[in-house]
Structure 1
Amino acid sequence: MAPSHKQWIIPFAVQLIPAGVLLIGSFYLKESPRWLITNNKREQALKNLSWIRNLHPDDLYIVEEVAFIDAALDEQASTIGIGFWKPFKAVGRDRTVQWRFFLGGMLFLWQNGSGINAINYYSPTVFKSIGVNGTSAGFLTTGIFGVVKTALTLVWLFFLIDRLGRRNLLMIGAAGGAVCMFIIGGYISSVNISSTAENLSGGGIAAIFFFYLWTAFYTPSWNGTPWVLNSEMFDQNTRSLGQASAACNNWFWNFIISRFTPQMFNSMGKSGCGVYFFFASMMILSIPFVYFLIPETKGIPLESMDRLFAVRPVSKAHATIHAEDQAREAEFRHDAEGAGLSIAKEKLDQYEHTQEV
């Protein structure tokens, strides 16, 4: 494309497409049943929960879930209360919750330590270090990187996150990604990459392959899973503050890595090979962190998070809490079966009676 104002207008306009889709989609989102119940909108909460679960409002599962939400909100009101500063109070007085905040923040250290934002922001530099030269070739390889990330994000979203679980995805992604980074770093350190070379060697093509293979390991693991864990690992008392903490940690470590990436390429080994060894080492170190400190949260309700993080060893926490929740649900169903009433339905009936009056 000839130099003109189109060179910035077209890329800018393309970015408006996903933003526009997000804006339109936001009008069709259902409000959280927990938030609705908190704000005394029980009827709408039941409708939304029934839509989410694809069940009738009178289904015992819906009755059971609303009852547990009620119990959690009652406990919250009786312990820390409802209000903007209450989550800060809950965190300040409970070391176990502080520990969860630390774990949630560290997940973003390991995420950014994998090298993703160094690659996002400096992809031409990264590909040049492998041996890709020329503006067109650099843009092409960068574009393919974006396409691979997008495709694998959809695979992660629809298939992997709830089938393999959070812990397994993080450890598999870190192990596979580290191997790829070590291979790329080893290739760069063993050859003389000429800035004037017109064609990649066989080794250079292999390095590009392992770069995209690294993307295939990273995207369905560390790209989105830390966000999922941070949305699940806090109870109702501190969840909102936990999400804010996650965002702050993400941007803090993002800044640190992206700020020093150019200096790293200039000072860490031949042609920046040390940068790849650094990222590979960070991914290796994240594996024991996840295995020993991060419990599996798949299928565990928010109301059970305190108990989940109290179980040791961490590797058995999910099975232990899942079994306890199943026993509790079985007891609830046994008590409620055939009664036609429950705490949740009684509260709904009281609400509807108040509205009629």
Structure 2
Amino acid sequence: MAVSSIITGVFLSALVSDRFGRKWSMWAGAVLVIISTFISTFTPPVIGGYIAGRAITGFGQGLMMPAGPVFINEIAPAKLRGTIMSFWQLNFAIGSFVAYWINYACSKNAERLGEWDWKIVMFLQIFFPVIIISGLFFCPETPRWYVQNDRFEEAYNTLLEIRDDTDLIAQEMQDIRQAIAFEKKETNSTWSRYKLLWTDKSVRKRILLAATMNIGQQLTGNNSLATYSTIIYKKVFTSNSQIQLINALAGTFNILFTLNATWMTDLVGRRPLLLIGVAGLAVCMFSAAAVVTETPNLEDGSKSPSVGIATVFLMFLFAFFFKPSWGATVWIWTSEIFSMNIRAQAVAMTTQCQSIASIILRKYQSSPFLT
């Protein structure tokens, strides 16, 4: 259900983005996430209500997520594009940070909260969609979308809002108009752009590369560790409160680790950063597995303090390598390799390979370190 909802949202995202604008695709997706949050939180405790909420969440995510990188790429100055795109991943880290600390606070008061222990966690999912909706009212649409829809005066006014140098504004406006005029000769509709993704050999190659990169992001093991971190820590620690605190601290450090992407992506380069990152991830993953599974248990079933410290250190070190590399750089790389005329469609299709791969892995992959 979630996979089909995401796929449907992905294909509609480009249609909505091209017809109504990038920011309205994000706005519609955020509204759907808010609706799904109310359904999941307040419907009677039956599986149908939960599935409906998850389906709407997936659809909203499919609408919203692909439009974000396209919006950033079309509105950010070229020299700052990589840095600004890294903040896209930073927002994921901030969301995890908030979720972990809320979960920790609820776990400390579980008996007093009763069923609101999980309802608070579920309901507060509306926090960031509300911020997105509020912020989008103050954001201009991208100049490129205005030109694509022959609204040249609005495109120029938007450039005046987001750029300082009037000479550069005139040049950028001319460049956008020339690019759009050329692209319309090749692709004059959203469906023709989708067709180009598979009929043009060069574009098809980039689609396959970007899809592989986004699936590879999930195969690094980051989502498995995020999903099963509590189970992993239970093999080392006996206190649930202590485990939730470690998860909350991990969410805090993830923000700091992601901030490294704001300067490393341009200084080191996309490809070297990805190669360094995957090497570090492999070392951390194998080391953590060895520490947890090959060390003896104490009488109460936990591990010694030194094993606990080593496990936490390796998990945090994993995040240190992942966040600026395969966390942030994959988004930047994906949004940069496609030409503007097919970017909305290509980014929508390839980035959602992350969500589909994540769902499939969670369904069929047994949790790590359990045996």
TM bucket (normalised to shorter chain) is: 0.5 to 0.7
Is 1:147 the counterpart of 2:252? The answer is: yes
Contact residue 265 and residue 273 of structure 2 kept, 8 A = yes
C-alpha separation between the residues in 2 aligned to 1:12 and 1:150? 22
Counterpart selection for 1:43 from 153, 156, 165:
153
Aligned twin of 2:116 = 6
Distance change (3 Å), C-alpha of 1:160 and 1:203: same
Counterpart selection for 1:138 from 237, 243, 247:
243
Q: Aligned residues, how many?
A: 261
Is 1:254 the counterpart of 2:364? The answer is: no
Aligned twin of 1:202 = 306
Q: How is 1:174-189 mapped onto 2 (pairs within 5 angstroms)?
A: 174-189=278-293
Alpha-carbon deviation of 1:195?
8.5
Aligned twin of 2:70 = none
Q: Deviations for 1:78-111, whole angstroms, at most 9, x for unmatched residues?
A: 122x212111221232111101000110112211
C-alpha separation between the residues in 2 aligned to 1:108 and 1:194? 40
Identity %: 27
Alpha-carbon deviation of 1:7?
0.8
Aligned twin of 2:215 = 109
C-alpha separation between the residues in 1 aligned to 2:180 and 2:309? 57
C-alpha separation between the residues in 2 aligned to 1:164 and 1:53? 27
Is 1:86 the counterpart of 2:192? The answer is: yes
More helix by share: 2
C-alpha separation between the residues in 2 aligned to 1:52 and 1:29? 10
C-alpha separation between the residues in 1 aligned to 2:345 and 2:281? 31
Aligned twin of 1:221 = 325
Gaps of 5+ in 1: 273-357
TM superposition score normalised by structure 2: 0.64
DSSP-derived class of the 1:237 partner: helix
Contact residue 227 and residue 246 of structure 1 kept, 8 A = no
Alpha-carbon deviation of 1:34?
0.7
Aligned twin of 1:234 = 338
Aligned twin of 1:15 = 125
C-alpha separation between the residues in 1 aligned to 2:307 and 2:301? 13
C-alpha separation between the residues in 2 aligned to 1:125 and 1:241? 38
DSSP-derived class of the 2:190 partner: coil
Counterpart selection for 1:64 from 146, 152, 171:
171
Is 1:124 the counterpart of 2:222? The answer is: no
Contact residue 334 and residue 351 of structure 2 kept, 8 A = no
C-alpha separation between the residues in 1 aligned to 2:244 and 2:226? 12
Alpha-carbon deviation of 1:189?
3.8
Alpha-carbon deviation of 1:236?
2.1
Alpha-carbon deviation of 1:199?
6.1
Counterpart selection for 2:137 from 27, 40, 43:
27
1:68 partner letter? D
Q: Deviations for 1:3-43, whole angstroms, at most 9, x for unmatched residues?
A: 51331233234433223222211112221111111111212
Distance change (3 Å), C-alpha of 1:147 and 1:247: same
C-alpha separation between the residues in 2 aligned to 1:161 and 1:195? 47
Distance change (3 Å), C-alpha of 1:51 and 1:193: farther
Aligned twin of 2:181 = 74
C-alpha separation between the residues in 2 aligned to 1:49 and 1:29? 12
C-alpha separation between the residues in 1 aligned to 2:297 and 2:192? 57
Contact residue 133 and residue 195 of structure 1 kept, 8 A = no
Distance change (3 Å), C-alpha of 1:215 and 1:88: same
Q: Which has the larger radius of gyration?
A: 1
Gaps of 5+ in 2: 1-108
Distance change (3 Å), C-alpha of 1:194 and 1:41: farther
Q: How is 1:245-284 mapped onto 2 (pairs within 5 angstroms)?
A: 245-261=349-365, 263-265=366-368, 271-272=370-371
C-alpha separation between the residues in 2 aligned to 1:195 and 1:240? 57
Alpha-carbon deviation of 1:210?
1.4
DSSP-derived class of the 1:161 partner: helix
TM superposition score normalised by structure 1: 0.67
Q: Deviations for 1:123-145, whole angstroms, at most 9, x for unmatched residues?
A: 2113234x133321221222122
Is 1:99 the counterpart of 2:205? The answer is: yes
C-alpha separation between the residues in 1 aligned to 2:239 and 2:298? 12
